[in-house]
Amino acid sequence: MSSLVVVGAQWGDEGKGKLVDYLTSNADLVIRFQGGNNAGHTLNVDGVETKLRLIPSGILHDGTQCLIGAGVVFNSEVLLSEMGQLADVGKKVDPSRIVLDRDAHLILPYHEAIDMAREERRGKDKIGTTGRGIGPTYEDRANRSGVRAAELLKLDELRVKLEKTIEEKNLYLRTVLESERQVTWDEVWGVVERAAERLVPHLGNVSLMLHEARLAEKRIVFEGAQGTLLDQMHGTVPFVTSSNTISGAVLTGCGTGPRSIDHILGVAKAYCTRVGSGPFPTELEDATGDFLREKGGEFGTVTGRPRRCGWFDAVAMKRAVRLNGIDSLAITKLDVLSGVEKLQICINYHLNGEKVDDVPSLASDLESVEPEYLTFDGWEADLTQARKWHHLPQEARFYLSTLSEIVGCPISVVSVGPERQSTLFSSGGNFIRNFLV
């Protein structure tokens, strides 16, 4: 067997969806292990765009089974509508194809109401969440009051539990958050009934399936959502999501051990973006930032918000390589940099005049760091037709090889466009190349 973890090495939106679609062409299983429908993965195949939030990005390959692990929080309405859209374009979405772990937690309308009410209350200090109820659902998981997929099998028991929960959540919304938002029994129970009716056939035991797949020497891709710097514990707290987004989360999110992983692929853009609030040392609030946003189509898949754009940050990337144990990097959207006269990579942070050895822990410190840059000549050529490393202009090759050297990690894949075929391998790409054949 051979297994590959694909994780975001920046603040999310690195292009993991395209990579996972590409890398699952010969995979048996693809598994989501954390996050929920705050993720938005975009696939472009034969001119057709598919946007996924919950279903793993391997769904377009008919031979790949798509699993949603216990570490995911799922919005059943979103999952059902995504399945409907895929079925409409002829994709097989039956229970043999899509399996939802029995221990994954269900996002309910009160989680979304609390997420939004909290953001409203935070005012200018808001985190900028996607408002999809992700944080409140993980909170309920941690305090042992959440609803797991398996509970859809015993609606009588769930009814009793939810009667109490809805009352408590409405009280919390009214009195603590001083919000007008309230949820009704019918609204919540309607979601539960539809989920029970439609999703119960998809319930499964992902940990056991994974164990059996490993014994049968199957090829497995673990698909991360969000990015390393949004990790709940190691990211730029508090401006982070509420799950662990790093490769270690594969183990808890799927119920497997560390030896289930053969290669960890970190996905990073050739520049940086961030959506939502929080420190961003290399942010470009100028014409170059606007150029990257327009040319790179940097608008959120889930919320449509414009993404903040900036230079590649090698300090943050070194941290990502370490936190994930990244074996190789996939650098995406290199084509977007064509036409920028001078490029920069941040190689150090300085705080109060001193060089710091890692991303600071406190957001206020990260807000205050002064980035030190290395400047590169840019290139004019359009890269979207490049298919081999030597098709890239010398300046682009130099940019990538220096980046790899500074970060201390080989580059295995370079992506120069949204389509599957706009992907090329570098000399560090042997594992990935073998994974595809």
Question: What residue ranges bind ligand IMP (CB under 6 A)?
Answer: 11-13, 38-40, 127-130, 132, 134-135, 225-226, 230, 239, 241-242, 275-276
**Cβ of residue 106: shortest distance to ligand IMP, in angstroms?**
16
Taking the mean position of all CA atoms in its chain, how far away is CA 183? 29
CB of 224 to ligand IMP, least distance (A): 10
Six-digit token string for 50: 């598919």
The pair phi, psi for residue 268, each rounded to 5°, is -140, 145
Please say which residue, 116 or 209, places its beta carbon nearer to ligand IMP: 116
13 labelled catalytic = yes
Nearest distance, CB of residue 12 and ligand IMP, angstroms: 3
Shortest gap between Cβ of 7 and ligand IMP (angstroms)?
Answer: 12
User: What are residue 222's DSSP bridge partners?
Assistant: 5, 31
Q: Is the CB of 24 or the CB of 130 nearer to ligand IMP?
A: 130
Q: Contacts for 418-422 with beta carbons within 8 Å, 24 or more apart?
A: 418/18, 418/42, 418/44, 419/44, 419/45, 420/18, 420/21, 420/22, 420/44, 420/45, 421/387, 422/335, 422/384
CB nearer to ligand IMP: give 40 or 58: 40
Angle between helices 109-122 and 155-171 (to 10 degrees): 20
Both structure tokens of 407: 């970060």
Chain position whose Cβ is nearest to ligand IMP: 276
Structure-token pair, residue 162:
């939810």
Minimum distance of ligand IMP from residue 11's CB (angstroms):
6
Which of 23, 49, 9 shows the shortest CA–CA distance to 423?
23
Strands (E), 370-429: 370-377, 411-415, 423-425
Of 41, 61, 105, 111, which is the active-site residue? 41
* Comparison of 38 and 65: residue with beta carbon closer to ligand IMP: 38
Cβ proximity to ligand IMP: between 104 and 158 the closer is 104
Q: Which candidate, 210, 226, 241, 219, places its Cα nearest to that of 68? A: 210
Q: How far is the CB of 8 from ligand IMP (least distance, A)?
A: 8
Residue number with CB closer to ligand IMP (155 or 233): 233
Buried/exposed 258-290: b ≥16 CB within 10 Å, e otherwise: eebbebbbbbbbbbbbbbbbbbbbbbbeeebbe
Q: Closest distance between ligand IMP and the C-beta of residue 120, in Å?
A: 14
- Which pair of tokens denotes residue 160? 């009793």
Q: What angle in degrees, to the nearest 10, is found between the helix axes of 394-407 and 314-324?
A: 60
Please identify which residue in the block is written with the tokens 């980035």: 371
Asked if 41 is an active-site residue, the reply is: yes
If the CB atoms of residues 38 and 244 are measured against ligand IMP, the closer one turns out to be 38
Rounded to the nearest 10 degrees, the angle between the axes of helix 109-122 and helix 185-199 is 130
Q: Which of 13, 21, 313, 327 is catalytic?
A: 13
**Catalytic annotation, residues:** 13, 41
